Structure 1
């Protein structure tokens, strides 16, 4: 690759592919991406409108029907995040290299941008969940569920409790997801209710971020879940509750004025907003060993 042969569209596509494939919290199974094409840079604002539900009334054929105006609630999605990459390819390295710089460089850029975006999105979800949908801190046993001691619960039961929170808010069951951290996933694997195909309803095996299905959730695992003092936050919800917009707005190459080489740099801008807090539920999970049995 040289500055003369640099094609921004090709590099954008090469960066976006690993970026979008690797996203967990920003993928369509978790976030609505309907506004992806409506942003051009940091500072943009996307207005997300939601109509109120009409009142359901008893019908009386002898009475005139009541007509009401539905109201609109607007959630502002601010494009207030920007991350860039910039690297140099020295002319000497290009001559000596046996392979292509573009493939590894673009893949690495996409993955790095993904991690920054996913960490940000997880934080927005954590803060945006309705307060009554937050389970608080639970002690989850990382062992056979039968070994859970006093004050301990299982990762599988945590999923049941998260589903209960969403059910209490009349959140649709279609498209539900839960994102867990690696330690929580390990605890889930200890439970046959999760690992049995007939119990989980998942015949596809492990794939990408989705690692199974349980209690009506697509179960995803991510290293970017919010973590506090070793605890992992499990985040459950539906895509309609959360909006994400991202755009790779600048990718360019230029000659380095101070060295013999090319510079490549790119800028990714994005933002997110919780449009329906009742559609998100969280649990702060402390993954622990089984409690020792009481002395007989």
Structure 2
């Protein structure tokens, strides 16, 4: 591949596609607010309105004055900037039958996806008080006999917060997924998707991810919620091919910008648990 033959728009589209396939947390968030990002530090304004009052109608007195709506605004900051920059030597390309640059681009996409996943997963700390089961001081230690029950209890937290049933999710680590698969109540999928979807519990889609946060190999933070709870904005800000001055090689560099925020803390619930 020569720099003259490089088509930036095609490569940029390919990178975005790979990111969507690789993400787990990134596929269970609200991306409605993605727009123009000019650089790190950009902000996205998210507007919300309060509840609507309901009154009793009287045909003699009619209805009251119209309610003035309460509104509030949340600011999502694009505070993450990650890059990749790799080269493939001309000699290496000549000796290999595979397209090394294309393979390296796919690896770069998965590496960026992994970084985004970990960033979104870290937002469990913004859970509303009372929407938790277990703690760092007293973590839950689930077994194959009660792991399913604990997830039901976690989803009840969402029920009590009036979280919509549609689009609910729970992300569990691999060892917890193994416990669920030993329970006949668990509705598992015969084909595990690359997005990490493994089955259903009480109407919620269960995802398996190695990016579930933990401290020192324990105190795993299992997050439940629904798609509208977390806003996520990303963009591939730049991607370029070039010939390094001191090498006989093709090089590609790219910059990804992103940010995320819990916009509905009551719409997520977190369980802290240890592996038995």
Please list every run of 5 or more consecutive structure 1 residues that lacks an aligned counterpart in the other structure: 146-153, 195-199, 289-296
TM-score normalised by L of structure 2:
0.93
Q: Which residue of 2 aligns with 1:17?
A: 17
For the 8 Å contact 1:142–1:186, the answer to whether it is kept is: no
8 Å CA contact 2:244, 2:250 repeated in 1: yes
Residue 246 (structure 1) aligned to one of 209, 234, 259:
234
Q: Is the 8 Å Cα contact of residues 170 and 224 (structure 2) preserved in structure 1?
A: yes
2:201 matched to 1:214? yes
Partner of 1:71: 70
Partner residue in 2 for 1:284: 272
- 1:189-200 alignment runs, 5 A limit: 189-194=181-186, 200=187
**Stretches of 4+ aligned residues off by more than 6 angstroms:** none
Deviations 1:133-179 (A, max 9, x none): 11124433334x1xxxxxxxx21111111111111111111111111
Which segment drifts farther, 185-194 or 134-143?
134-143
CA contact (8 A) 2:134 2:140 kept: no
How far apart, CA to CA, are the structure 2 residues paired with 1:233 and 1:186? 16
Q: Which residue of 1 is the match for residue 57 of structure 2?
A: 59
Post-superposition CA distance 1:171-208 (Å, at most 9, x none): 111111111111111111121111xxxxx3x6664323
Q: Supply the RMSD in Å over aligned alpha carbons.
A: 1.5
The TM-score, its normalising length taken from structure 1, stands at: 0.87
**Cα displacement (A) at 1:249:** 1.0
1:103, 1:113 → 2: CA distance?
16
Partner of 2:257: 269
CA distance in 1, matches of 2:35, 2:101: 26
- Partners of 2:19 and 2:189 lie apart in 1 by 27
Question: Which residue in 1 is equivalent to 2:115?
Answer: 116
Check 1:82–1:203 CA distance in 2 against 1; reply closer, same or farther (3 A cut).
closer
Distance, in Å, in 2 between the alignment partners of 1:173 and 1:14 is 33
